[in-house]
Amino acid sequence: MPDSAIIIPSVLNGLTTGGLYALVALGLTLIYGVLHIINFAHGALLMLGLYAVYFLNVQFGLDPYAALLIVPPAMFALGYALQRGIIGRASHGRDENILLVTLGLSIIIENLSLYFFRSDTRTVDTPYSFDVVEIFGAFLPYPKVVAFVGALMTAALLWLLMSRTDLGRAIRALAKERKGAQLVGINADHVFAMSFGLGIACLGVAACLLLPSYYVNPQVGSGFVLIAFTIVVLGGMGSFVGALIGGLIIGVVEALGGLFLGESLGQIGIFLIFILVLIFRPTGLFGARA
Amino acid sequence: MLEVSNLRAGYGAVEVLRGIDLAIDMGEIVTLLGSNGVGKTTFSAVVSGLMQPWSGAITFEGKPIAGLSSQAIVDEGVIQVPEGRHVFPNMTVRENLELGSYRRGKGNRMRNIEHVAEIFPRLRERFSQKAGTLSGGEQQMLAIGRGMMAEPRLLILDEPSIGLSPLLVEEMFSLIKQLNTDGLTILLVEQNVLQSMEIADRAFVMENGEIKLSGIPGDLMDNPELQRSYLGLA
C-alpha cells in the first residue's frame, strides 16, 4: 500500500489533469445543455485548437499562454459559423441529423488535418515546460498548475456569464423553453450559435493551457473527448457544476488508477465509474431528474 | 391598430387558417373564440412570428409584419402570452421577468418589474422562487407579467384561463379588464365564451380555420348559431 507521500502528489496531479478535462467537458455540456445534441466534432475541434496554438508558437514565436488572446476568440468565431452555417442548417430540427452532421464534421476535420499536417506528433518548447511548483510537498509541473488555475477561472467566468448576463439567461431560457424564449424576443438561431461558439471557445482555452505540457497530432482529440463524454455523464448532462466536479473526480481516479494498477490500466477506473453511474444514477451527480 | 386580411397558414399540406380577416382598434379588448382545433393558437403563432403565413397580410400600426421573425414582432410591441404559459421553469420569478424585457434593454427594467409586482403582489413574494415550482395560477400571472415587461402595445393572451380553478378564472378575467382599463390593447384568444364576452368590446368566432361570426358581444350572445354551438342552448 503506497503511503501518503505518494498518494498526495498523485491526487494533486490528478486534480490538475482533471481541471483540463473539465474545461473540455464544460464546452461539451454547454452545447448539450442548450442544443440537446452530443457534439461528436468536439475532439476534432480541440485538435484544431491545439494546432492553432502550435503554429502560432512555431511560426510567430507566440507563447501558448499569450495565444489565449487569439485562439479562444477564433475558436468562438469558428463554432458560431459552424452552428449557423452548417449544423443548424443541416439539422432541419432533428437531433439525429445533428449527430450525423457533427460526426461527419469530425471525420472531415481529422482527415484534412492528417493530409495537411501529417500524423507527426508535435510539441512546443517553452522556457517553463519542465518547471515544477511545490504544493503540499508535491512537485507538480508548472504548466499543469497553470492549466488547473486557468480551468477554474474559465469555469468561474462561464458561471458568471450564465447567471449574470442577459446572454446567459437567454441561453438558459432557450435550453428549457424554446417557445417561451422566442416569445420574449430571443433570436433562437443566434443564441444557439453563441452557445456552440462558447463551447468551442472553451476548447480554445483548453488548447492554450494544454499544449505546454502536451502534444498535438490529428488523433489527439479522440482520447480527450471520450473522457469528456464520461465526465458529462458523471456530472449530469448539461450541468456546469457537474462538468467541473466530474472532471476533477475523473482526473483523480485516473491518477490513482495509474498509481495502483499501472499507467496502462489507469483509465479502467474512469470507465468503471461511467458504467456504475449509468446503472445507479443515470442522471449523473448534478443532473436534473426526469 | 392590427389588421389581418385573408390570412392563410398551415402545417405541411394541411391548411389550418383559411382566409382570416380581423381588425383590432387601439384600446380595445377583442376576443377570438372557438373550440379546440379551430386554429386559434395557429393564428396567435402566425401573428407573433412563430409561424410563417402562406399568404395574406398582417399590418400593425400601418406596418406590414406578416412573415417577420418573432423578435422583430416583439420589437414592434406585439407580445404574446402563450397557451400553457411556457415560463422558464429552471429560472427564478425575477429572472423570468427580467427576460421579458430582453429586447428592451435594462433602462426601464427595474421600473417595469416594480409595475408588474404592483399588478401581481403574489409574484413579489416569489421573486427568488424557481418558476417551475409555482402553482398554475401563479405561473399564469408570471407569464402575463413577463409579457408586460416587454412594454406591449398589443398583448395577445392565448387561453389565459385554461387549467385554472373557477375562482382564479374570475380573478384572471377581472385582471385582464383592469389591464385594458389602464390603456392596454388586448387580443383575448379563448374558449371561455361567457366570461370573454363579458369583458370584450368585440368578438370573433372561429370555426374550421375561418371567422364564422363577428360583432359586439351583446349582439353575438343573441345569435342562435352561437347559442347552439357554444352555450349549449337550443
pLDDT in tens, A50-101: 999 999 999 999 999 999 999 999 999 999 999 999 988 887 777 778 888 8
Strand partners, B202: B30
Residue A219 lies in a domain: yes
Residue A114 lies in a domain: yes
Contact residues, A window 155-174, toward B, CB-based 8 Å cutoff? 166, 169-170, 172-173
| H/E segment holding residue B23 | strand B14-24
Interface contact B99-A186, CB threshold 8 A: yes
Q: What is the pTM of this model?
A: 0.87
Given a cut of 60, is residue A289 above it in pLDDT?
A: no
pLDDT at A49: 96
Q: Which three cell numbers stand for residue B19?
A: 382566409
User: By the CB < 8 Å criterion, does B86 face chain A?
Assistant: yes
Residue A290 lies in a domain: no
Q: Which domain holds residue A106?
A: 4-280
Q: How many domains does one find in chain A?
A: 1
User: By the CB < 8 Å criterion, does B158 face chain A?
Assistant: no
Q: What is the rounded average pLDDT for all residues in chain B?
A: 89
User: Closest chain B residue to A170 measured between Cα atoms?
Assistant: B99
Distances, alpha carbon B211 to alpha carbons A132, B34, B46, B83, in Å: 78, 9, 16, 20
pLDDT in tens, B38-66: 889 999 999 999 999 999 999 999 999 99
Given a cut of 90, is residue B32 above it in pLDDT?
A: yes
Which residues in B lie closer than 8 A to residue A186 (C-beta atoms)?
A: 71, 99, 102
Is A289 or A217 the better-scoring residue by pLDDT? A217
Given a cut of 50, is residue A290 above it in pLDDT?
A: no
Domain ranges of chain B: 1-77+157-162+188-234
Given a cut of 50, is residue A203 above it in pLDDT?
A: yes
Distances, alpha carbon B42 to alpha carbons B4, B46, B49, B76, in Å: 14, 6, 11, 20
Nearest residue to B193 via CA among B210, B169, B165, B167? B169
pLDDT in tens, A106-135: 999 999 999 999 889 999 988 988 888 888
Picking from A182, A184, A286 by the largest number of B CB atoms within 10 A of its own CB, the best residue to mutate is A184
Residue A163: CATH number of its domain: 1.10.3470
> Burial level of B112, CB count in 10 A (0-12/13-18/19+)?
buried
Nearest residue to A84 via CA among A181, A229, A200? A200
Interface contact A177-B87, CB threshold 8 A: yes
CATH number of B1-77+157-162+188-234: 3.40.50.300
